[in-house]
Amino acid sequence: MSISTYRTNTGELRYRVRYRKPDGTQTDRRGFKRKKDAQLWEADHVTVAIAKGSYVDPASAKSTIGDLWPAWIAKKKVNAKPSYLDDLEGAYGKYVAAYWANIRIGKVSRAGVQQWVGDMTHGRVDGKAKSASVVLRAYGILAGILDDAVADNLIPHNPARGVSLPRKPRRTRHTYLNAQQLFALADACGPYRVFVLTLGLTGLRWGEATGLTIRDVDLDRRRFDINKSATEVRRRIVVGTPKTHELRTVMFPAVLAPLLPVRGKSDDDLLFADPTSPTGYIMQVDSPKTGSSWFTRACDAAGVPRMTVHDLRHTAASLMVRSGANVKAVQRQLGHASAAMTLDVYADLFDDDLDAVSESMNRLLIDANVGNMWAREGILTA
């Protein structure tokens, strides 16, 4: 290795570092205004890095974010669901590519990423502040691309990691219907009655229920075999695996069995086809805020709070908990990744458990009454 001087086209004096890469080829790094800067760069980026086996060729950092995007999204396509891929591609095109596509990965800085995150959060990109979910998704794409660049030894570290990110707001309380309200809502749904009852009594997701075929129904054991899900992607129905890719079997109560539309159908027919159209699956309903969907009108007619069809899943969870189901059983029924996730999503359903713990502990302490301690404290126990 050596440090030498040279003149730029404008006659300015600059320093360069000549060195050999681990493969034996010679290269240099130019542009240092001071010899000290060249020496520091040589020590940090060449001598120490080669000794540690962490050397990264500066030339490899010339790839842009746009260059690396196809490989990153191709990796996601191996096991991601179509709806998620559509979200990723949309977020990349709208928020990541517009800012980073032509930026070399070696030029990405932590400060630059932090500025971009702040601009999206506070509406400095297009005048409209983005939600935490939108910002986190866009950031995750950029950080993921740079993670792959580190793994491929294109850059020494990921400059996107360690920036401050917005937090998602805490979930609001779910809307739970009792059994009477659920049946009243279903009655108001007309031809969708049994479909709505199925969602509210089993906790199936919209796509899981619309993907059911007659083959997936076991009337004797009162079970649904959840092995696929129908998802709407850009107004097109795509059938794939369930949300978590985990196949599962869920129960349905006996009262639902005689209502299921299974008669006169073959094994491959849909259990719930769109009652208003002969062409396929029930499509996603409109937002309840619009007041234009059949489900919204049914909520109003039944006198229950406006909600989304997905909220019926929360009602199913509450009915299961009230019936005495334990957390593990609810987790399996809903297809959550863990019981901890179920507790996190439905913590408010288990508030009564805390009351029960309080009462049982109180009884234990009263029964113990060691050395007549309650009398000494002036507490009446009877």
Mean pLDDT for all residues in the chain: 81
Q: Tell me the pLDDT tens digit for each residue of 41-86.
A: 777 666 655 554 445 556 667 889 999 999 999 998 887 777 778 8
**Considering the chain, what percentage of its residues have pLDDT values greater than 70?**
76
pLDDT the model gives residue 203: 92
* pLDDT of 161 above 80: yes
> In the predicted model, what is the mean pLDDT of residues 353-376?
63
Residues contacting 95, CB < 8 A, separation 6+: 120, 125, 130, 134, 138
Rg, the chain, Cα only: 30
Alpha-carbon span 207 to 285, nearest angstrom:
12
- Residue 107 pLDDT greater than 70, yes or no: yes
**pLDDT by residue (tens digit) across 261-294?**
999 888 988 888 877 766 555 655 555 656 668 8
Q: How many CA atoms lie within 13 A of 42 on its CB side?
A: 21
Is residue 371 over pLDDT 70? no
Specify the pLDDT at position 245: 53
Q: What is the 3-state secondary structure (H, E, C) of 19-33?
A: EECCCCCEEEEEEEC
Q: How far apart are CA 319 and CA 323, in angstroms?
A: 6
Written as six digits, the tokens of 145 are: 């691309």
The answer on pLDDT for 146 being more than 90 is yes
pLDDT digits (tens, 9 = 90+) for 176-211: 999 999 999 999 999 999 999 999 999 998 888 888
